[in-house]
Structure 1
Amino acid sequence: MDRMNNLCISEQLHQEISLVQRQQMSALCSTWLRPTNTGCIYEDKSPGTCEWIWNSPEFVQWASSSPVPTRLLCIHGVSGCGKSMLTRSTVKGMREKKYQVLYFSFSRTDGDRKTLDSLARSLLCDLLVETSDEGVLSIVTELKSRNLITTGDVLEALLKSVKSVTGPIYCMIDGVDECDDEKNDQDQGLLKCILNLTKFPNGHVALVGRPYALQTAITLTPLVIEMNPSVVKSDIEMFIHDQLEKSPIPRAHGLKDDAVRTLCEKSDGMFLWVKFAMEDLHGAITPYHVKDRLRNIPRGLQNMYRAFFLKLLERLDDMQLKLAKSILTTAIASCRPLTIVELQYPYALGVGPIANLEHHRFLQPEKLICQVCGGLVNITDGILRISHVSVKEFLTRSDEHWLSDADRGLRYFQIDMRAAHLSLGTACLDYLTARLFDLNLADSDTLVAVETRYPFLQYSSRHAMSHLVQSGPPSTATLDKLDGLLESESFLVLVEYLTMLQVDDLFSLDADMRTLLLWKDTSDCEGGPSLSKLLSILKQELDRRMNRFGKDDMRTLRVQYAWDSFKDEIPDAHNRDSIVTFREGPKDSAKVATHIRKLINGHDKLSLAAQLDMTFILRTHLRLMKGLKEPLKILFEFILSSARKMPVSALLIIGDFYRRLDKLDDALKVYRAALAKVNGMEGPDKFMVLRRTGSILIDQGEYTRAEESWRMTGEGQQKAAGRDHRESLQSMY
């Protein structure tokens, strides 16, 4: 009996250990896939709305668990008709009913949610979480182990995973019109992926978006739902009743009945229109004003925007108008959504000197923003976003629209994207140039404290160049500002700060500087930054730090890194004096190996400072080595075994070293470890790994795989920098 009990206990323990191991591997794979966060999809809706979908014959057939001939559902409608809310509500309802549902929403204003690659990764991760299927985990684990992973590989893994799962899988994909990839071609892009999914008996896909993005898909399935006014009529009525119950409009004088009748009649099935109409009614101060506004309320979303902006012009004083324009411009042009604190700096820098910045900070930020912008923006968890992509589309229309009789009076609010980028880029430069930042960069734990002390530092240092290169050819004034930053006391401190901030994408700093110099050459204006000027500044600082700290000190090596990044661009730079040098020899190699092992040992995760130290030491030392000394060989094996906590830049340096010694298999192994860390990202580090991988594969005769590597580089460069950028053009040849 005891033996039987022990066997049972042992078996139970084995199962528990296996479960924990599966959960750990699943979590690791989910993190590696870098999925888009869909944890916020369960947004509140008005009671009773979105329920009609469950009785729609098209949806009922699509959602059937029995084998059905057609498993593609298309849901389309105009802007503001409630497509996204319907999708989120349906996903929530299906999950509550224990359907296996995958969800993704494209977004034109979120760089992580615009591509087929982001869709594939998110759906595959969703499938891993929703099903807990051993087959799916095995497929994803195998995918993770590959040398080179393309979007095609992720899509193939997704298809295999769906096929391997028992029971139907339902995918709901919202915002198809906001996807950057091809949407209407059966033989490529998004639609090809969707059609492949629906070939499986258990693969059900619903596409949701504006009609033009679903033109081809609609012809391929009888399951089509158009969210026209008659379909959403009951939802619109419930939504209006719900909004009126929360409003101060009284029932007396039949006001609420009039409001329901008028809003239902004029809404044309657009929830977004109703939101703006309700905001307008809330501004009425008497029953007469309510009735007057109901009589004059415009039809159509475009006309509603026109009326909304006209009222802003009438209601706001000059200072408030300037604030509203600044907020909208910044929110639309920013590289990422800004916090309310960050948002105040572009405005403050535009109205006064940096010495008086605190005098131009908002007294009651959220209240003030809502007062001047109303429903045009949303604030969630302290982050401001444009409320709907149609607001951006309205404000950034071309000149001919603003010259029409209907819009000429609103032209104050027109947003020219080049001018917007120039305004934001200039604000970033002013912030970075006009103050001396007291940064303690010895400890990465201080980064949070630094960003609390200087709230606009992270954004301005990281995105100033991006804004400037999108602002058109530079003017003399802009070039002078750049010169001022280059020559300021803050410049080298900012370079060190950015290096720490982007330790896993160090090559983007080099790429940004080269892009900036190319942009400068698009202007006929004299002056501005140049490589020779940059190298002169670095040389002076390098001399100063060598004399003060010594050649082996990390403060010296950080400047050495910057020098190494650019000196090859200047023919005589190698002959200049005062360049840090290292001896080659086993003692030096042993010293480097010992130092780096100390950095790694005892830490589950390396601090940013330690990652930087490792990168700089390896780069400075290995560039002079002509052979693989035994201490370094042992060190590299140790680093590869701990690759998950290594910076990508350090792995690249080691891979390059192996490649220089013609140890191609070893180099490929290191690049594989580096690529695993940057998959799902689009940036210079990833493109460099892909290029190096392609070159090695050519040398090894793997031409098909090499072509795929270079193709991925070209496509990624085009998405990141545009088709006409030098790096994009070079990657095509």
Structure 2
Amino acid sequence: MSQVPSNPITSSMDFGKIFGAALEAYRKQTKKDIASHPLATQLQSCDSPSAILAILRAQLQAFDQSQSADERLTKWLDPTVNVLYAFSATLGEGAGLAFPPAKMIFAGIGVLLQAVKDVRASQNALVDLFGRIEYFFKRLERYIDVRPTVAMTDIIVKIMVEVISILGMVTKEIRQGRTMRYLKKLIGRKDVEDALQRLDQLTQEEARMASVEALTITRGIDERVRSVENKVGSVTKDVKENGVAIQQVVNKVSDLNRNELRKELRKWVAPPDPSVNYNTASGAHHEGTAEWCTKGNTLANWKASGSLLWIHGKPGAGKSILSSAIIRDIKPMSNAGPAFLAYFYFDFKDKAKQDIRALLSSLLVQLSDQSDIFCDALYSLYSAHRQGSERPTDESLSQCLKYVLTSAGPVPIYFILDALDECPYGSGLPSPRETLLDLVDELVKLRLPTLRLCVTSRPEFDIRTALKPLATQQVSLHDESGQTQDIKNYIADVVRSDRRMKRWRDEEKDMVIEKLAEKADGMFRWVYCQLEVLRHCFPANVRRTLDELPKSLDETYERILKEINNANREHSYRLLQCLTVASRPLRVEELAELLAIELDAGGIPKLNVDLRWEDQEEAVLSACSSLVTVIIDDGSRVVQFSHFSVKEFLTSPRLACCTEEVSRFHIPIEASHMILAQACLGVLLFPDGHSEDSVKKAPLARYAAEFWVGHAQVGNVEMGIKDAMDYLFDMDKSYFRAIVLHYQSREHRRNMPRSVPKLLESGGCYSASGIRSTSLITE
């Protein structure tokens, strides 16, 4: 083996020893001495990145001149070579490849490319592998203009040694005929997986050290400034007092800067806010509910040992309320410091809370708010994406979270994930739910003693198949005696406190409590619906109503639909349709406005202000009974289905197969998009004689302008609203002129949406393949 050159730059560790060990490991893996390999000799004479690229590109002949392979690998090679060469030149005082690890990495890449013989079997694996180690090379850019310290150089060398080791391992695998199509199969081998994890940890350590060194430099400047001030001062006491004052200012500035950083990071990853769901669930919490869980052995054991706790139950079993109780139980520990807590609620009502990106971004931001170390880790990811000018991928967010978990030290980290079943299943390959289950699997298999993961869901087949083997502890709410007692306590409290029910005799009250508790079958939601019916009963009718109780939630919802007044059925159905497919949660006034749209007005939908209800909330709740509810969200009254099971039932084939009396309420998705698209156009196509200002004041105007196109593009909806679209793009109509004139005025010109000039240029036409957006009222 050739002699390893010494390097004066790395003085805090035995450079020759550690680098020599790396080259020996490479030799054992590949049976080749990389230091004396012909490629290394060729590279030694290279005096520019282009010369290195020419040598490495020559190795792409192994791909039989595959154009796609050349393009994909060159896309990675070009920036990597440029950065690594410039970094080597920085450390080698401008001498190009004077820094030995850089030359060995280039040689290792070249040998790996030579080893590839089968394009189809190896190309994807190599591209994925290079993508995995790309983050390290991006980090080197910061040292091209600013020379790294000795300590930073030491850790960078360690990282380079790990890269050389990984290149050797993969080269060995390919030479032994173990070609892999995807990186997942490649890193399934323990040695490669362990090396990649060490690389990730070292890179994150370098990023953290860089942040610390930057802070140290800043503080050094502060110290020198204070030293000068001390020399200028004539009184020692005054100097000390000034020094304390300055330090206090520095600390305040540092805190302010970090708070601003956290705001910037939150803005960059843009997580949804799970506290809305937490507050809603907490508000529905009945005193004493879930104490069997929070004070029981199962939760105590989970807190002590960590891993995965899976809580599952039927629809309406109160899983979200139980999650909120667990969160509330852990919060004091988190606030006091000996624990970190992050939680997330998947939500069928909110598309922003239904995928892995929403979960990852929320967890990272919550942890970042609780610890400077976590904040620094997220900032490293931010820096690696051009100071936040690029969006992070789901994979990069996942890797950042895993790093955070592995670097947290001995402090326990609690993750509470509620209603995983409300994440969509079946759309996409893999579906959003499958991706989430994969993430849970990966987190559990990290086997971190500090991680305590709690997931609640229905016991659906795909979830049960994924979580049952992983869960160290499970709770089935259906079989839990504490849950049964909670339901009975809830019923008793409602019956004894409700204004109508407390007039009953004790006999009727006791009868209701016992009967409902007996038939609840673990479902709070079922009990709630029966109590809503019973509270309107006369005492004489209580026994008969109890004898006719529906057996399931489906039967309960059928009964509610049957009881909707005939005069209200058409309006009720329209509101339920629009609530089902709305692109975002609708406010009370927006949903009520749908009742003022005439959809059969000569083929063109029409907004009739005379049909508006004076009491908008009454319009919504009287039409939809107990199927919907109104909550306060960010100061607005928002309408939502009262439970996930309501929307599921209305769109299910089960309802379509019911009797004609209730099957008419079955909601087909495409037809519902048609209704909402028509309603939106009815608002935009306000009648001649109305001012542009009047339509901007219409409650549904903002939603209509922003989302009508999305509804129109579903299935064949576009063909059904063609006449209305022709009207919308007719520039001779007063409604269109009013909107254009609005944006031609000086005070609004700079906020003119791009669609306005485009419509003017095109003569107001649109294409069937892509309807032009008309966000004309959204400023």
TM, length-normalised to structure 1: 0.62
Aligned mates of 1:185, 1:384 — CA distance in 2: 28
Which consecutive segments of 4 or more residues in structure 1 shift more than 4 A?
A: 181-188, 351-356, 436-440, 449-452, 492-497, 552-570
- 2:628–2:640 CA contact under 8 A, matched in 1: yes
Q: SS in structure 1 opposite 2:509?
A: helix
Separation in 2 of the partners of 1:14 and 1:567? 59
| 1:222-371 correspondence runs (5 A) | 222-231=472-481, 232-247=483-498, 248-249=500-501, 250-252=503-505, 254-284=507-537, 286-312=538-564, 316=565, 318-350=566-598, 357-371=608-622
- Who is 2:724 aligned against? 481
Report what 1:156 is aligned to.
399
Counterpart Cα distance in 2 of 1:139 and 1:338: 37
What is the SS of the residue equivalent to 1:380?
Answer: strand
Aligned pair partner of 2:455 in 196, 202, 207: 207
- Matched residues in 2 for 1:419 and 1:192: separation? 34
SS for the counterpart of 2:274 is coil
| Closer, same or farther: CA 557–411 of 1 in aligned 2, 3 Å | closer
TM-fit CA distance, 1:10: 2.3
Q: What amino acid does structure 1 have at the position aligned with 2:642?
A: S
1:408 aligns with one of 643, 654, 660:
660
> Are positions 1:55 and 2:299 aligned together?
no
- Go from structure 1 to structure 2 and tell me whether the alpha carbon gap of 1:434 and 1:255 turns closer, same or farther (over 3 Å shift): same
Structure 1 435/49 Cα, relative in aligned 2: closer, same or farther at 3 Å? same
Q: 2: CA distance between counterparts of 1:379 and 1:203?
A: 37
From 381, 397, 413, the equivalent of 1:143 is 381
Counterpart selection for 1:390 from 638, 642, 645? 645
| Aligned-pair Cα RMSD in Å | 3.5
Alpha-carbon distance, 1:201 to partner? 2.4
Counterpart amino acid of residue 318 in structure 2: G
Instruction: Find the aligned partners of 1:268 and 1:184 in 2 and give their Cα distance.
Output: 34
Equivalent position of 2:264 in the other structure:
28
Q: Using a 3 Å threshold, how does the CA distance of structure 1 residues 238 and 565 change in structure 2: closer, same or farther?
A: farther
Specify which of 728, 735, 741 is matched with residue 490 of structure 1.
735
Q: CA deviation at 1:47?
A: 0.8
Match of 1:459 among 695, 703, 709: 703
Q: CA deviation at 1:309?
A: 1.7
Match of 1:73 among 306, 309, 320: 309
For residue 372 of structure 1, the aligned residue among 619, 623, 626 is 623
Q: For this pair of structures, how many residues does the alignment match?
A: 501
CA apart distance, 1:365: 2.5
| TM-score (normalised: structure 2) | 0.59
TM-superposed deviation, 1:408: 3.5
For residues 58 and 325 of structure 1, do their structure 2 counterparts lie closer, same or farther at Cα, with a shift above 3 Å needed? same
Query: Counterpart of 1:454 in 2: which secondary structure?
Result: coil
Structure 1 residues 157-172: aligned runs within 5 Å: 157-166=400-409, 167-172=411-416
Give yes or no for contact 2:415–2:453 (8 Å, CA) kept in 1: yes
CA contact (8 A) 1:47 1:238 kept: no
- Partner Cα distance (1:186, 1:329) in 2: 24
CA gap 1:152/1:355 in 2 versus in 1, 3 angstroms: closer
- Residue 21 of structure 1: how far off its partner (Å): 1.3
State which drifts further: 379-388 or 261-270.
379-388
- Output the amino acid matched with 1:233: T
Q: Find the structure with the greater CA-based Rg.
A: 2
Match of 2:467 among 183, 198, 217: 217
Please give the secondary structure, in 1, of the residue aligned with 2:347: coil
- 1:530 is aligned to none
Contact 1:417 1:471 in 2 (8 A): no
CA shift for structure 1 position 564: 7.2
Please say which of residues 120-129 and 246-255 is displaced more in the overlay.
Answer: 246-255
Q: Deviations over 1:369-428 (max 9, x none)?
A: 333322211112321111112111111123x75334xx4331221212221111111122
In structure 2, the CA distance between the partners of 1:561 and 1:414, relative to structure 1 (3 Å rule), is: closer
The one-letter amino acid of 1:191's match is L
Matches within 5 A, 1:43-122: 43-44=282-283, 45-64=285-304, 68=305, 71-98=307-334, 99-122=339-362
Deviation at 1:16, TM superposition (A): 1.9
3-state SS of paired residue (2:275): coil
1:211-254 CA-to-partner distances (Å, cap 9, x unmatched) read: 12242211122311111154411110111122213321134151
Measure how far apart 1:319 and its partner are.
2.5
Larger RCO, structures 1/2 (Cα 8 Å, 6+ apart): 1
1:681-700 → structure 2 map (5 Å cutoff): none
Partner SS, residue 336 of structure 1: coil
CA contact (8 A) 1:100 1:169 kept: yes
Q: Between the two proteins, what is the percent identity of the paired residues?
A: 23
In structure 1, give the amino acid aligned to 2:487: I
Tell me the SS of whatever aligns to 1:72: strand
Q: How far 1:2 moved relative to its partner?
A: 3.0
The residue aligned with 1:666 is: none
Q: 1:479 to 1:270 in 2, by over 3 A?
A: same
More displaced stretch, 176-185 vs 230-239: 176-185
Output the CA distance in 2 between the equivalents of 1:251 and 1:377: 28
1:124 equivalent in structure 2: 364
The aligned counterpart of 2:98 is none
C-alpha separation in 2, matches of 1:142 and 1:359:
57
CA contact (8 A) 1:120 1:155 kept: yes
